Amino acid sequence: MPVLSCASLLSFWSLDFLSFQPNRIVPGTGFSADAALGWPWAFCMTALLLFIIAASFTRLRYRHAVQLVCLILLLLQLPLGLAGFSSVQVPDTLPHARTGIASGFWLLLFFAALMLIELQQKMHLSRLKILILLMLPLICLFWVYHTGQIESLALVREYTARSSQFQDALRVHLLLVCGAVGISLLSGFLLVSLMRQWPFIQKFIFGLLNFVQTIPSLALFGLLIAPLGYLASRSEFLQSINVSGIGWAPALIALVAYSLLPISRNIFIALEEVPYAVLESARGMGMSRVQVFLHVRLPLAMPVILEGVRITSIQAIGLTAVAALIGAGGLGSFIFQGLGQAAMDMILLGALPILVMALLADLLFSGLAGLFRNGAKQ
């Protein structure tokens, strides 16, 4: 905590915190923390970081709680600082002017996230409690956005200009991820059933899935273009559902192929590691094989299975961004458009929702795994 707090202070005072651009093309002018926020605001944020450092060297019983409160207050001030900077720096005579987030802001946010993780581990807080605490700065951010106080922020301007495209891209991204995870989950159960029925095919199946993992994603997308294009040209049904060498079809197939190994391995290990004595006790109570599987084996295996779903979901969320290169759509299209135009804000418009979705998937499936784990203990 002292190291992270000192790193936050260093980035807060030594780097540009926010920036101002007369338009999208002209490079922005950077502002330090005191110039961007004003001395009172900068002093308050500095004081909170110093409190976190000071609490680390005390033996107070509730020192971690004090650090957590200071950290949440620090995060609450970030959207308010953005709103204050936008209202002061953007004149009405420059309709295309915009404010930007500079490196000092991003580093402070990054170090704050690391401190939050550190406090979660020290205080043994559940991820649900951390999420509830983070709702306060998120509500504050939504409030300043809803009231129009950060409408001149470059990221907000990019979203406003492309709101319909963004919603379509988000919908496609979620459909690809959910489809890939759902298909891989069903296929994983089928493959594990075959491996448990005929153990001699286990090495072959896992070897094949391991081989698929070694193929780079772009190479796999490219390998699927020719066969899918050929099949689509020979089938009217495939043409009717828009299957071609590029688009959603090769993206979905590649995502499922990459998702099968982690989810199949977790399902196999989870089902195999259920204690034999527990299964024998269930059979001794008169349960059938189906009842033993549904009421005993599967509930005890669910925490490990959900860990596999968590890993698969996070992996699919990231890989779906790459699928934009073959015309599959999704949020990756904003990332690659931004790279082509050297527009950092457009890159962030695609990258930040991907990061948020990955974090939410991690919280969701980790929380569900914890619930099943607690239920199994009881």
For residues 140 and 196, state if they share a domain: no
Asked whether 99 and 152 are in contact (CB, 8 A), the reply is yes
For residues 174 and 33, state if they share a domain: no
| CATH code for position 337 | 1.10.3720.10
Full-model pTM: 0.83
What is the Rg, in whole angstroms, of the alpha carbon atoms belonging to the chain?
Answer: 25
Of 105, 118, 139, 137, which Cα lies nearest the Cα of 67? 118
For residues 271 and 305, state if they share a domain: yes
Cα separations in angstroms, 215 against 245, 249, 257, 264, 328 = 18, 18, 10, 18, 19
Number of domains in the chain: 2
Distance, CA of 58 to CA of 63 (rounded, Å): 7
Domain residues for the domain of 209 are: 163-377
pLDDT in single tens digits along all 378 residues of the chain: 889 999 999 998 888 888 887 777 667 788 888 888 888 888 988 999 999 999 888 887 888 888 899 999 999 888 888 887 766 666 666 667 788 888 888 999 999 989 988 988 888 887 778 878 888 888 888 888 888 878 878 888 888 888 889 899 999 999 999 999 999 999 989 998 888 888 888 888 888 888 888 888 888 888 888 888 778 778 777 777 777 777 888 888 889 988 888 899 988 888 888 777 877 787 788 777 778 777 888 888 888 888 889 999 999 998 888 888 888 888 888 888 888 877 788 888 889 899 989 988 888 888 788 777 776 565
For residues 231 and 193, state if they share a domain: yes
For residues 234 and 347, state if they share a domain: yes
For residues 199 and 138, state if they share a domain: no
For residues 324 and 356, state if they share a domain: yes
Distance, CA of 90 to CA of 214 (rounded, Å): 50
Instruction: Please return the burial class of 234, using the count of CB atoms within 10 Å of its CB with bins 0-12, 13-18 and 19+.
Output: exposed
